[in-house]
Structure 1
Amino acid sequence: MTRLSPLSLLQAVMGIIVVLLWVVAARADEAPSRIVSVGGAITEIVYALGEEDRLVARDTTSNYPAAALALPNVGYIRRLSPEGVLSVNPDLILAEEGAGPPEAVELLQEAAVPMIEVAGGYSQQAILDRIRTVADVLDVPDKGEDLAARVKADLAIAVAATEGLDEKRVLFILSMQGGRIMAAGDETSAQAIIDLAGGENAVSGFVGFKPLTDEAITLSGADVILLMDRTGDHGITNEQLFAHPALGVTPAAQTQSVVRMDGMLMLGFSVRTAQAITDLSQALQAAGS
């Protein structure tokens, strides 16, 4: 066997190092191909961009399109399972703002898994910004611009169709456990979609979702009760709603005006929001008629 001189051996080692550095650099330049999508809005955008083949897992809120349900589930957006995320060997976690809990995020950071948080927001511009951000991360900016343009046009048509409609007072109820009404106030996704659909939030003066007093419910003068379309233990029937003494005296109770919509469609603020605006606007106008 031929022995290499020290100089030749050094040159060979240096050559290997150069190759390895080139491979690492090449991989660093590659767009992510094993992505965990956390947040239904993000997942919908990835599919709308035609980049779904790069997804290897999703969170519980990612329930649209139906094909996404075939992906491994890594838990609820705010209660992620680090073990579940790491089990799919991702090269990127693409998450909506507020994903967690913090200890889960810390564990993923310690495992050196890159995580990009996409800003939230409930305006039309926020939706377009979210689309462009996801497209840039996936290295398909042209697709992002095309999708943003289509969504912007759809939103404009949907909002224009609500002009001149009766502005009904809408009370969005998140839950009513123990008879306590948890409702949407200012700066919430529910208020934003109600406004876009041509309605008026029946309660205000507080930020976020809070329990209401019976007096506040009565004074809301709600024409329509808006709920997420849930089943099982989380479902609320009309009978349960209007058996509540305060809800029972609202205008909505007199006309039995209740609207139920898919939660992600209504509150996701993603590529389907124009459809949500149209569906909700039509439902509000039909309520009580």
Structure 2
Amino acid sequence: MKILNPIILSFILLLLMACKQKQQDENFNPATAKRIVSVSKQITEMLFALGKGKDIVACDLTSSYPDSAKLLPKVGYHRLLSTEGIVSMRPDVVVYSPNIGPATVIPQLQQVGIRCKEFFESNTLDSAQLLLTALANYFGVKGVADSLNKQLQQQMQTVYAAQKQCTDTPKVMVIQFGQANNVFFVMSGRNGPADAMIRLAVGKPAVYQAKGASQLSAEAIATANPDVVIVTDFGFDKLGGVEGVKKLPGVALTNAAKNNRIYRFNEHDIVYFGPRSAENILLLMKLLHPNIHATLP
């Protein structure tokens, strides 16, 4: 009896597995998925907004909105995901954005037959609406996304009207505590969602010249001299409030510290865009411009 070469045998097995996976994917209807694992905080919030929160069985550590997401089992930080943790949740599908890690996690999940669906990265108000629609199309709830996007567009008219009440453009710095590396770093000035929200709130991102996110530079923060410092919730609470923030390198030398314009802001309200963005931008605008008067419809 002729014995097949191990390499050829392995190839045949992989081919059979690929065919089986393809057949499973063709038969899969995402609208019926009852065990979803989401490893993107932005996607997690959007799934809840689309009415799919009841079908999420686990998420990553950064998925913190709504409060129901905090109660879900966690499968690791989104850049340090646990393959074993995800597998143990027996998901129908894992949904994710391109910025997850490690790079091996998705191939490992696919190798054991777990269906994974990547959605594009969204860093602007417009692309967030496209992402919401893409998620809704995939899970069969397009009408819900259409309604949410229409509501957001209507609410943004209130934001645009409020912008006209602003009389100055303060320099703003956003400081975040990175839970993965256990360090504070400046999130703003990177041309990301936080900068876009600052501009929509009629502020301007303070120019921070230090490179990298490994640690804060006292000299760079003092040189940037922001009028307002925003600290995301976890870091603000860790420091014990405004006086603790002033002890961070260089912060005490800024106009923000001298004028007590240091504020706490929920991380999930400023690091990505979503259905609540008009509300979040208006909240930020009222911190930057306390005299404006605006209420969402």
> What TM-score do you get using the length of structure 1 for normalisation?
0.80
Q: Please, which runs of 5 or more residues in structure 1 have no aligned partner?
A: 1-22
Contact 1:57 1:72 in 2 (8 A): yes
After superposition, the C-alpha distances for 1:196-216 in whole angstroms (9 at most, x for unaligned) are 211111115788757564443
What letter matches 1:167 in structure 2?
Answer: T
Change (3 A) 1:112 1:159: farther
Matching of residues 83-94 of structure 1 within 5 Å? 83-94=84-95
Once the two structures are superposed, residues 222-260 of structure 1 have per-residue CA deviations (whole angstroms, 9 ceiling, x without a partner) of 111111012698436433333456322221122111011
What does residue 157 of structure 1 align with? Answer: 158
Kindly indicate whether the alpha-carbon contact (under 8 Å) linking 1:37 and 1:93 is maintained by their aligned counterparts in 2: yes
Partner of residue 170 from structure 2, selected from 168, 171, 186? 168
* Structure 2 residue identity aligned to 1:28: F
Determine if the alignment matches structure 1 residue 274 to structure 2 residue 278: yes
The alpha-carbon deviation at position 143 of structure 1 amounts to 2.1
SS in 1 for 2:229: strand
Q: Counterpart amino acid of 1:269?
A: F
Query: For each residue in 1:77-118, what CA deviation from the matched residue of structure 2 results, as whole angstroms up to 9, or x when unmatched?
Result: 111111111112111111133122112222112112221222
SS across alignment from 1:286: coil
Task: Specify whether residues 164 and 179 from structure 1 end up closer, same or farther in structure 2 by C-alpha distance, changes over 3 A only.
Answer: same
Check 1:111–1:168 CA distance in 2 against 1; reply closer, same or farther (3 A cut): same
In structure 2, the residue matched to 1:12 is none
The residue type paired with residue 260 of structure 1 is R
Once the two structures are TM-superposed, the CA of residue 70 in structure 1 deviates from its matched residue by: 3.1
- The 2-side partners of 1:221 and 1:231 are apart by 20
| Bigger Cα displacement from structure 2, 98-107 vs 211-220 | 211-220
Cα distance in structure 2, aligned partners of 1:245 and 1:42: 34
Aligned residue number for residue 223 of structure 1: 227
Contact 1:184–1:191 (8 Å) recurs in 2: yes
Q: Given that residues 185 and 210 in structure 1 are in contact (C-alpha distance below 8 angstroms), is that contact kept between their aligned partners in structure 2?
A: no
Q: In the superposition, relative to structure 1, how do residues 192 and 30 fare at CA in structure 2: closer, same or farther (>3 Å)?
A: closer
> Considering only CA atoms, is the larger Rg found in Structure 1 or Structure 2?
1
* SS of corresponding position for 2:118: strand
Aligned residues: 265
Q: Which amino acid in structure 1 is aligned with residue 230 of structure 2?
A: L
Instruction: Choose the corresponding residue for 2:269, options 261, 265, 289.
Output: 265
Instruction: Name the residue aligned to 1:97.
Output: 98
SS at match of 1:100: coil
Indicate how the Cα distance of structure 1 residues 248 and 54 shifts in structure 2: closer, same or farther if over 3 A, else same.
Answer: closer
**Contiguous gaps of at least 5 residues in structure 2:** 1-22, 292-297
Per the alignment, residue 114 of structure 1 pairs with 115
Partner of 2:136: 135
Q: 1:110 to 1:244 in 2, by over 3 A?
A: closer
Could you tell me which amino acid in structure 2 is paired with residue 169 of structure 1?
K
Residue aligning to 1:14: none
Distance 1:175 1:70 in 2: 21
* Aligned equivalent of 1:184, options 172, 188, 194: 188
The residue aligned with 2:252 is: 248
Other structure's SS at 1:225 match: strand
Tell me how large the CA RMSD over aligned residues is. Answer: 3.0
The answer to whether the aligner puts 1:202 opposite 2:244 as a matched pair is: no
Separation (CA, whole Å) in 2 of partners of 1:188 and 1:209:
14
Q: What code does the residue aligned with 2:132 have?
A: I
* Partner-residue secondary structure (3-state), 2:62: coil
Alignment partners' CA distance in 2, 1:61 and 1:203: 27
User: 1:30: Cα distance to partner?
Assistant: 5.6
> Quick check: 181-190 or 233-242, which moved more?
233-242
**For 1:38 and 1:245, how far apart are their aligned partners in 2?**
33
Mapped contact 1:191–1:201 kept (Cα < 8 A): yes
Q: Distance in 2 between matches of 1:121 and 1:207?
A: 23
Q: 2:288 aligns with which of 258, 277, 284?
A: 284
